[in-house]
């Protein structure tokens, strides 16, 4: 828009045109109303503000050749467009005026003072509009000047700075991204294992990999018990469609009641809250039956590699070896005693599986396998062939009795190794559930009895070692002797005759033995009982071995002076008594009996078993003298009588030993019947083996069984190990009643 000229425009009449409405803008001289023109419209600035906002029309007279400037009417003139213009102007009246004129008093036109226009105010100007300037001049007396109210111009509202908004928005966006980035770092580094584990756990399957259980071998390496490959059958309860129908199909193949199988297939929750996907149905299933089960193609039923314990001999050494559960845990015998060593360490396979119908290993998913570590094997001192023959002989001899219990032990004299250890009754270790608990006991270590006359060898050995007697000692022996309230008698009365020490052993004289013990004394006798291994477990290696019991010296009664020396008021096991005779055979040195020869690791490396405890009990000379005297038990047969152990003699070999008749107590109660026993060694001139046989029978037939059983066992043992007969030496001639 071109700038407006400073020269006021004039009409043709030479008078200035004003803008007036309603007569307020009329010329005072003519009273004609002013006629509005284009100048009224041009009087507004491009921003919509008037050059002057006031009351009345500026009028000028042609004085002094001064140019007259038109001024617009004020807002009070009733201009209908004024409110809109005020809105456009920011709501402030009188802003942006470019000049002001005042008239002289009396209504006459005065000199018009032109005020140089000020630049229009921008809405962003912070300075206040200056107060309107008034011109000096006389006031019209008839019309006082109108007083305008003093108004403080309002400041226009400030608009927001877009740059500040941009900076604030940028800062907020960066803060948000920084927080997200930090959280992502924590998720990817710090919290990764926790979140990963939480997700993987829900889809992991775990399968145990059983470790092959170690074998139990005899001294030659022959297997007495070992594990063979088998299968276990398992169920995934989440996939089994009809557990009752499935159980009915599996029951005849597994030999397990259908109700038990259905119960195992019932869905259940694990401690983690997840459903169980693995339940054992049977262990040690034969491979053939496992194939039949797989052929049924039952939903949720699977088969995996397992092992089964196999005992080739059935009842061979069953009371020693024991048995295991279906989970391959030792329950009795050596299987239980050395379970930790035999069972090894099981492995485990953990892998990801799908859910639902896709319950199969996920290719490329998480999978970890810990290989099982096989168990170690035990090599026993037992000889399988000798064990078999010992059991056979014992069973055959005991067939003559009813409701009896028998035990037999064979010991290598020099080493203390137990070559055979048999019990009767016995059981089939393949099917232990079909036997009674008493049938599974090892009688050699758990059968506690009064040893009876076989204890006399300990009394005579102590007397020899202490110098109370010699091999040539003789003295008169009465038929009876009373100790306290008990009278002791001999089964072979001497009638007061002198008897030799071999004669006393051959006829098992109670009176002669008690008289020797009186000279020995209770304290020394108890000391030798302990040296020979009585009153404490031997530590052979069997679990639950009984310790027996010795009567302390301060608890002896008057009758104990007679009962203890002849083997009563003493509790011992067959193994303890066998070890005591082995000390006599081993030139007076006691060697702890033991069953474990070697331990064979998973890598095949062999480690010897524990070193047996040894101690000296008798001197070699006294031990040899006692052995010679004990030969009388199996050889004396003449006009003076027959020895008690003739039935134990082994043709071709010199045998030294002793018969015994004792009692059995169970839970502190005396049991009916008697315990017949025989313990001997051969060849007597240089003993190699000791055999002990104990038989308890309610009818008292044990004595008739023990000696013949010994003869057969010792004869087989000597032939089995190819021991030469005693052809070059004969047993001495014993005189029972020397003249």
Q: What is the pLDDT of residue 229?
A: 87
Out of 249-263, 322-336, 677-691, the most confident range is 677-691
731 within domain boundaries = no
User: Does some domain include residue 735?
Assistant: no
- Mark whether 628 and 655 lie in a shared domain: yes
| 154 domain residue, yes or no | no
> Region 548-566: what's the mean pLDDT?
94
User: What Rg, from alpha-carbon coordinates, does the chain have?
Assistant: 63
SS3 assignment for 149-176:
CCCCCCCCCCCCCHHHHHHHHHHHHHHH
Residues 349 and 424 in one domain: no
Note whether 445 and 581 are same-domain residues. yes
pLDDT of residue 364: 75
Average pLDDT over residues 706-734: 92
516, two tokens: 């020797």
Of 131, 96, 102, 106, the closest CA to residue 114 belongs to 102
Q: Average pLDDT of 153-165?
A: 76
The answer to whether 649 and 678 are in contact (CB under 8 A) is no
Give the three-class secondary structure for 24.
coil
pTM of the model: 0.71
Backbone φ/ψ region at 3: left (φ over 0), alpha (ψ -120 to 50), beta: beta
* pLDDT at 703 exceeding the cut of 80: yes
| 380, 411, 435 - which closes a domain | 380
Q: 305 and 375: one domain?
A: yes
The residues, any chain, with a CB within 8 Å of residue 630's CB and separated by 6 or more, are 457, 505, 584, 656, 657, 658, 680, 684
Least confident of 78-82, 200-204, 212-216, 257-261: 78-82
Residue 14: per-residue pLDDT = 45
**Residues 46-64, mean pLDDT to the nearest whole number:** 44
DSSP 4: P
251-278 mean pLDDT: 90
The alpha carbon of 578 is separated from its chain's Cα centroid by a whole number of angstroms, namely: 43
Output the pLDDT for position 304: 86
Find all residues with CB under 8 Å of 383, minimum gap 6, and list them. 218, 219, 220, 419, 420, 720
Considering only 35-44, 149-158, 410-419, 522-531, which range has the smallest mean pLDDT?
Answer: 35-44
Return the minimum-mean-pLDDT range out of 184-193, 308-317, 569-578, 591-600. Answer: 184-193
Q: Are residues 323 and 460 in the same domain?
A: no
Residue 593 reports pLDDT greater than 60: yes
Contact by Cβ (8 Å): 579, 593 = yes
Nearest to 423 by CA among 536, 541, 333: 333
- SS3 category, 125: coil
Mean of per-residue pLDDT scores for the chain:
82
Instruction: Identify whether 260 is part of a domain.
Output: yes
pLDDT score for 365 = 75
Task: State the pLDDT at residue 82.
Answer: 57
Residue pair 615/669 in contact by the 8 Å Cβ criterion: no
Residues with Cβ within 8 Å of 324's Cβ and at least 6 positions away in sequence, in order, are: 213, 309, 330, 331, 335
Q: Looking at residues 547-573, what average pLDDT do you find?
A: 94
Strand bridging mode 216-217 / 377-380: parallel
Residue 393 has pLDDT above 60, yes or no: yes
Q: Do 79 and 180 fall within a single domain?
A: no
Whether residue 151 lies inside any domain: the answer is: no
Is there a single domain that holds both residue 70 and residue 209? Answer: no
**Beta strand pairing call for 596-600 and 637-638:** unpaired
- Weakest mean pLDDT among 164-178, 194-208, 540-554, 592-606: 194-208
Higher pLDDT, 520 or 22: 520
Q: Is residue 733 part of a domain?
A: no
Q: What is the CATH number of the domain that holds 358?
A: 3.90.1310.10
Out of 171, 201, 231, pick the residue that ends a domain: 201
Is the per-residue pLDDT at 81 higher than 90? no
Q: 730 in a domain, yes or no?
A: no
Query: Between 105 and 384, where is the model more confident?
Result: 384
- 262 domain-assigned: yes
- Six token digits for residue 29: 């001289």
State yes or no: pLDDT of 194 exceeds 80. no
Q: Convert 543-566 into a string of H (helix), E (strand) and C (coil).
A: CCCCCCECCCHHHCCCCHHHHCCC
Residue 283 and residue 307: Cα distance in Å, rounded?
A: 8
What is the extent of the structural domain holding 121? 1-146
CA pair distance 65, 14, nearest whole angstrom: 12
d(CA 107, CA 412): 161
> How far is 95 from 631, CA to CA, in rounded Å?
152
Flag whether pLDDT at 238 surpasses 70: yes
Predicted confidence (pLDDT) at residue 123 exceeds the cutoff of 90: no
The number of domains in the chain is 4
> Going by C-beta distance under 8 Å and a sequence separation of 6 or more, which residues neighbour residue 372?
209, 210, 211, 212, 344, 345, 346, 347
List the CATH number of the domain containing 437. Answer: 3.40.710.10
pLDDT of amino acid 75: 43
Q: What's the rounded Cα separation, in Å, for the pair 319 and 334?
A: 9
Q: What are phi and psi of 275, to 5 degrees?
A: -70, 145
Q: Is the pLDDT of residue 398 over 50?
A: yes
DSSP one-letter code for 415: T
Query: DSSP code of 432?
Result: G
- Read off the pLDDT band of 281 (50, 70, 90): very high
Same domain, 644 and 558: yes
Six-digit token pair at 571? 């509790």
Question: Who wins on pLDDT, 445 or 105?
Answer: 445
| Residue 167, C-beta contacts closer than 8 angstroms, at least 6 positions apart | none
Please, are residues 447 and 676 in contact by the beta-carbon 8 Å criterion? no
Measured between alpha carbons, how far is 386 from 720 in angstroms, rounded to an integer?
8
Q: Residue 307 forms beta bridges with which residues? A: 229
Residues 74 and 181 placed together within one structural domain of the fold:
no
Q: What share of the chain has pLDDT > 90, as a percent?
A: 56
The whole-number pLDDT of residue 714 equals 98
Q: What pLDDT band is residue 198 in, cutting at 50, 70 and 90?
A: low
Tell me the per-residue pLDDT of 493-533, one tens digit each, with 9 for 90 and over: 999 999 999 999 999 999 999 999 999 999 999 999 999 99
- Shared domain for 443 and 455, answered yes or no, is yes
Looking at 380, 415, 449, the residue that finishes a domain is 380
Q: Give the mean model confidence (pLDDT) for residues 424-436.
A: 91
Are residue 188 and residue 236 in the same domain, yes or no?
Answer: no
DSSP state of 77: G
3-state helix, strand, coil in the chain (%, to 5): 30, 20, 50
Q: Does pLDDT of 4 surpass 60?
A: no
Side-chain-side CA neighbours of residue 553 (13 Å): 10
Q: How far is CA 418 from CA 189, 428, 628, in A?
A: 64, 22, 24
214 and 191: one domain? Answer: no
CA 442, distance to chain mean position in Å, is 33
If you average pLDDT over residues 586-603, what whole number do you get?
A: 96
């Amino acid at each position: 828009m071109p700038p407006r000229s400073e020269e006021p425009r004039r009409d043709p009449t030479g008078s200035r045109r004003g803008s007036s409405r309603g007569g307020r803008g009329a010329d005072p001289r003519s009273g004609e109303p002013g006629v509005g023109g284009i100048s009224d419209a041009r009087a507004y600035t491009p921003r919509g503000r008037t050059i002057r906002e006031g009351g009345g029309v500026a009028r000028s007279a042609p004085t002094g050749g001064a140019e007259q400037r038109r001024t617009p009417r004020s807002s009070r003139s009733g201009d209908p467009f004024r409110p809109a213009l005020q809105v456009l102007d920011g709501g402030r009246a009188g802003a942006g005026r470019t000049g002001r004129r005042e008239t002289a008093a009396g209504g006459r036109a005065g000199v018009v003072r032109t005020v140089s226009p000020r630049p229009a105010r921008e809405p962003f100007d912070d300075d206040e509009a200056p107060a309107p300037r008034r011109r000096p001049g006389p006031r019209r007396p008839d019309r006082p000047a109108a007083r305008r109210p003093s108004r403080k111009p309002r400041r226009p509202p400030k608009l927001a700075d877009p740059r500040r908004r941009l900076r604030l928005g940028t800062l907020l966006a960066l803060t948000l991204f920084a927080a997200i980035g930090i959280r992502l770092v924590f998720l990817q580094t710090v919290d990764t294992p926790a979140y990963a584990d939480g997700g993987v756990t829900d889809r992991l399957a775990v399968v145990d990999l059983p470790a092959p259980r170690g074998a139990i071998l005899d001294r030659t390496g022959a297997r007495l018990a070992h594990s063979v490959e088998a299968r276990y059958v398992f169920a995934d309860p989440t996939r089994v469609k009809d557990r009752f129908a499935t159980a009915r199909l599996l029951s005849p193949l597994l030999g397990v009641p259908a109700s038990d199988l259905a119960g195992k297939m019932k869905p259940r929750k694990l401690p983690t809250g997840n459903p169980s996907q693995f339940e054992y149905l049977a262990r040690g299933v034969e491979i053939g039956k496992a194939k039949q089960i797989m052929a049924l193609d039952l939903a949720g039923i699977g088969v995996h590699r397992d092992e089964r314990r196999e005992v080739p001999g059935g009842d061979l050494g069953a009371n020693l070896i024991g048995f295991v559960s279906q989970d391959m845990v030792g329950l009795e015998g050596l299987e239980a005693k050395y379970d930790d060593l035999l069972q090894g360490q099981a492995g485990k396979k953990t892998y990801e599986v799908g859910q639902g119908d896709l319950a199969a290993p996920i290719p490329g998913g998480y999978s970890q396998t810990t290989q099982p570590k096989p168990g170690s094997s035990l090599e026993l001192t037992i000889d399988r062939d000798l064990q078999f023959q010992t059991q056979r002989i014992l069973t055959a001899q005991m067939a003559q009795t009813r409701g009896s219990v028998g035990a037999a032990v064979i010991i290598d004299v020099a080493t203390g190794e137990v070559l055979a250890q048999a019990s009767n009754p016995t059981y089939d270790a393949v099917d232990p559930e079909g036997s009674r608990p008493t049938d599974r006991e090892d009688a050699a270590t758990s059968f506690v009895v009064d040893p009876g006359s076989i204890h006399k060898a300990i009394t005579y050995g102590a007397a020899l070692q202490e110098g109370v007697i010699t091999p040539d000692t003789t003295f008169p022996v009465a038929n009876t002797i009373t100790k306290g309230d008990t009278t002791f008698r001999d089964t072979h009365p001497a009638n007061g005759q002198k008897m030799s020490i071999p004669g006393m052993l051959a006829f098992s004289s109670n009176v002669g033995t008690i008289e020797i013990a009186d000279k020995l004394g209770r304290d020394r006798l108890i000391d030798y009982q302990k040296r020979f291994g009585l009153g404490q477990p031997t530590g052979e290696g069997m679990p639950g071995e009984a310790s027996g019991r010795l009567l302390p010296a301060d608890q002896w009664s008057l009758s104990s002076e007679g009962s203890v020396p002849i083997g009563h008021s003493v509790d011992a096991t067959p193994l303890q008594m066998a070890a005591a005779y082995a000390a006599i055979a081993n030139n007076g040195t006691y060697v702890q009996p033991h069953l474990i020869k070697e331990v064979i690791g998973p890598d095949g490396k062999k480690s010897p078993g524990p070193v047996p405890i040894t101690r000296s009990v008798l001197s070699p000379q006294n031990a040899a003298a006692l052995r010679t005297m004990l030969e009388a038990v199996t050889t004396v047969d003449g006009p003076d009588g027959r020895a008690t152990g003739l039935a134990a003699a082994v043709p071709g070999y010199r045998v030294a030993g002793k018969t015994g008749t004792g009692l059995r107590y169970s839970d502190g109660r005396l049991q009916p019947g008697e315990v017949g026993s025989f313990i001997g060694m051969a060849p007597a001139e240089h003993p190699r083996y000791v055999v002990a046989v104990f038989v308890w029978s309610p009818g008292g037939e044990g004595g008739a069984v023990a000696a013949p059983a010994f003869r057969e066992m010792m004869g087989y043992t000597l032939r089995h190990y190819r021991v030469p007969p005693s052809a070059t030496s004969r047993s001495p001639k014993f005189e029972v009643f020397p003249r």
